């Protein structure tokens, strides 16, 4: 992700300084493949693609550790990054993190609603807490759990 962020920052720099016909050189083949991919869904990659369409900036791959001056300097700076006291860039949560957070929040709110509800007292006897796992039952089992069925009394 650091390579993707570095390329995005380099493109932003070129745009801000009105630098035309430039090349961003990287040794990250995986980043270039992600940018070229039509299946890529990460927001930052999509933003890079949009920026590249609006400019004359080209991306070029170079072999790592072969003496390319700019690339060797970038590698040296990258090695210093973990020892810094402050982080320059923060990433937002990933889609998986957002989904997990929302799932936990949904289950919490659902549990509160169940606890505060006056309805469903019969079902609450069987299910005291909300679970997001799928429950498989059959027609008669569901009638008993919900107390809605072909019973003589309701």
DSSP H helical segments within the chain, as ranges? 2-16, 29-36, 43-53, 69-80, 95-116, 121-126, 139-146
Whether residue 55 contacts residue 15, with contact meaning beta carbons closer than 8 Å, is answered with: yes
User: In the predicted model, is pLDDT for residue 150 greater than 90?
Assistant: no
Q: pLDDT per residue over 1-12, tens digit each?
A: 788 988 999 999
Q: Which residues pair with 25 in a beta bridge?
A: 60
Strand 58-61 to strand 23-26: parallel, antiparallel, or no bridges (unpaired)? parallel
Q: pLDDT per residue over 55-110, tens digit each?
A: 999 999 998 888 888 878 888 877 877 787 887 777 778 888 999 999 999 999 98
Distance CA 35, CA 92 (A): 19
User: In the predicted model, is pLDDT for residue 124 greater than 70?
Assistant: yes
The two tokens of residue 140 are 């008669």
Q: Give span(s): CATH 3.30.420.10, the chain.
A: 1-83
Pick the CATH number of 1-83 from 3.30.420.10, 3.40.50.1110, 3.10.290.10, 3.40.50.150: 3.30.420.10
Q: pLDDT per residue over 17-42, tens digit each?
A: 998 889 998 999 999 999 999 998 88
143 or 47, which is more confident: 47
Long-range contacts from 147-152, C-beta under 8 angstroms, 24+ separation: 147/122, 147/123
Answering whether pTM is above 0.75, one says no
Identify the band that residue 153 occupies on the pLDDT scale cut at 50, 70 and 90: low
The two tokens of residue 83 are 């020892």
Identify the band that residue 154 occupies on the pLDDT scale cut at 50, 70 and 90: low
Q: What's the pLDDT at 35?
A: 95
């Amino acid at each position: 992700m650091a390579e993707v962020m570095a390329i995005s920052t380099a493109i932003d720099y070129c745009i801000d300084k009105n630098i035309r016909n430039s090349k961003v050189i990287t040794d990250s083949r995986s980043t270039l493949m992600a940018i070229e991919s039509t299946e890529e869904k990460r927001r930052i990659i999509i933003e890079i693609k949009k920026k590249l369409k609006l400019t004359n900036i080209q991306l070029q791959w170079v072999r790592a550790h072969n003496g390319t001056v700019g690339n060797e300097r970038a590698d040296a700076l990258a090695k210093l990054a973990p020892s810094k006291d402050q982080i320059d860039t923060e990433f937002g949560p990933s889609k998986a993190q957002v989904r997990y957070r929302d799932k936990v929040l949904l289950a919490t709110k659902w549990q509160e609603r169940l606890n505060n509800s006056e309805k469903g007292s019969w079902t609450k006897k069987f299910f005291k807490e909300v679970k997001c796992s799928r429950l498989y039952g059959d027609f008669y089992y569901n009638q008993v759990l919900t107390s809605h069925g072909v019973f003589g009394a309701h």
